[in-house]
Amino acid sequence: MEKAKVSVIQLFSMMFLFELGSALVVSLGSNAGKDAWLSILLGLCGGIALFFMYYFLFRQYPTLPLTGYARKIFGKYIGWMIGLVYTVYFLYAASRNLRDFSDLLLTSTLPATPLLAITILMILAICYVLYLGIEVVGRTAEIFIVILILFGLIGNFLVLVSGGVKFHNLQPILENGWKPILMTSFPLVTYFPFAEMFVFTMILPYLNRPKLAKKVWLSAFISSGLILSYTAALNIAVLGFDEVGRSTFPLLSTIGKVNLMEFLQRLDAIVVFTFLITMFFKITIFFYAAVIGMVDLFKLKNHQQIILPAGVILTFLSMMIASNFAEHIEEGQTITSYYIHIPLHIIIPLFMVVVAMIRNRFKKKAN
């Protein structure tokens, strides 16, 4: 790992921006109908339950990334293979989010631009900031979280004063009962976006005050979850659930409804800039976790020497994972949520916790 330290505020900023990511603009929880906002809150609760499992592992090995303590827990060879699986997953997750970003820009603002051109420009920016190190990523997050909050306040103010909010669109609550809400919350919303915070097990060892990791993680978790729930409710209140269900990026449509005195219109740029900020950090953190995993597993001197080759792999992986955006979304809701997230976010970490607890018990008896 590089010799770097990240402050509490920097870690919170990175976590907050990461968690919003693409979840802020897509129709998160739409399978629950008008109760999407409630399914997000329940998904947040599921994510918090998973957090305590991840935090336990961090407390046992505060100076090691996930790929490091996997070898401590399972042994040199099995632990190395598990670390490799997670490294590949982080690279895959970065490619999926990169595809999300490229397709939104293509759909909303740059319809005549080749997909590959957008992807390459984003990758170059990410490779540059990662070459400078995780401290630079943290300082950048400190600046951009302020900009994001300003965008959020301005956007919400304009939507509210434009008179397009119709709270009756959210009624009746629990129209179809609890079943669709629970089935949407677990596993879909719990895994995306909340369980994805598992990636920070690769970054927590950089925290300069490890004792505050729990407070920082939970505060970022809860604040971002509440914002996502509020955004889902606002989209439904402005657009109605039918339009939200049909829309690929409902927040873009919501802000597009703003029309003040026939003067303030076409404010889609606020959403696009917001998405640009959050997705930059989400892709960057996933990509950095993959790079650090490679450095740790293959005993490389530093992370800088493999950033560009890994960036090339990430670029082509994002282009190849799906032939179009609809296929990309379908893959995320079926294959990724069930066949990747369940074993990597629940089964293997739970097994790690059990083995670590058994090892600790034997150590205490030996002493």
Rounded distance between C-alpha atoms, residue 363 and residue 2, angstroms: 30
Average pLDDT, the chain: 90
Percent of the chain residues past pLDDT 90, beyond the cut: 62
Longest dimension (CA), the chain: 77
Helix residue ranges, H only, the chain: 8-20, 36-60, 66-74, 76-108, 115-132, 134-161, 179-183, 190-191, 213-239, 241-246, 250-256, 268-298, 304-320, 325-331, 341, 348-366
Please tell me what DSSP assigns to residue 167: G
- pLDDT in the model for residue 341: 85
pLDDT digits (tens, 9 = 90+) for 176-197: 889 999 999 988 889 888 999 9
Q: For the whole model, what pTM was predicted?
A: 0.94
- Flag whether pLDDT at 345 surpasses 80: yes
Rounded distance between C-alpha atoms, residue 152 and residue 157, angstroms: 8
Rounded distance between C-alpha atoms, residue 30 and residue 36, angstroms: 5
- pLDDT in the model for residue 8: 96
Q: Which domains does the chain have, with CATH numbers?
A: 8-359 (1.10.4160.10)
Q: pLDDT band at residue 151, thresholds of 50, 70 and 90? A: very high
Which of 85-94, 160-169, 263-272, 292-301 has the weakest average pLDDT?
Answer: 263-272
- For residue 185, count other CB atoms closer than 10 A to its CB: 26
Q: Which residues pair with 240 in a beta bridge?
A: none
- Flag whether pLDDT at 1 surpasses 70: no
Rounded distance between C-alpha atoms, residue 91 and residue 290, angstroms: 5
- Flag whether pLDDT at 2 surpasses 80: no
Q: Which residue has the higher pLDDT, 336 or 133?
A: 133
C-alpha closest to that of 228 among 294, 336, 152, 125: 152
Q: pLDDT band at residue 268, thresholds of 50, 70 and 90? A: confident
Report whether 360 contacts 60 (CB < 8 A): yes
Kindly report whether the peptide bond that precedes residue 172 is cis, defined as omega within 30 degrees of 0: yes
- Phi, psi for residue 321 in degrees, rounded to 5: -70, -20
The residue type found at 43 is G
Report whether 90 contacts 289 (CB < 8 A): yes
Q: Which two tokens stand for residue 61?
A: 């090995």
pLDDT digits (tens, 9 = 90+) for 79-135: 999 999 999 999 999 999 999 899 888 887 888 889 899 999 999 999 999 999 999
Rounded distance between C-alpha atoms, residue 202 and residue 262, angstroms: 49
Helix (H) or strand (E) holding 300: none
CA-CA-CA-CA torsion for 151, 267, 326, 166, nearest 10 degrees? 90
- pLDDT in the model for residue 339: 84
The residue type found at 155 is G
**Segment 250-275 mean pLDDT:** 82
Q: What angle do CA 272, 234, 15 make, to 5 degrees?
A: 55
**Segment 136-161 mean pLDDT:** 93
- Flag whether pLDDT at 340 surpasses 90: no
Sequence-ordered list of residues with C-beta below 8 angstroms from that of 321, at least 6 positions apart, any chain? 92, 95, 96, 99, 328, 331
- Flag whether pLDDT at 295 surpasses 90: yes
Kindly report whether the peptide bond that precedes residue 193 is cis, defined as omega within 30 degrees of 0: yes
Q: pLDDT band at residue 367, thresholds of 50, 70 and 90? A: low
Rounded distance between C-alpha atoms, residue 193 and residue 18, angstroms: 9
Q: Which two tokens stand for residue 338?
A: 């069930």
Report whether 174 contacts 241 (CB < 8 A): no
- pLDDT in the model for residue 335: 77
Q: Is 109 helix (H, G, I), strand (E, B) or coil?
A: coil
**Segment 333-354 mean pLDDT:** 87
- Flag whether pLDDT at 9 surpasses 90: yes
Rounded distance between C-alpha atoms, residue 131 and residue 326, angstroms: 33
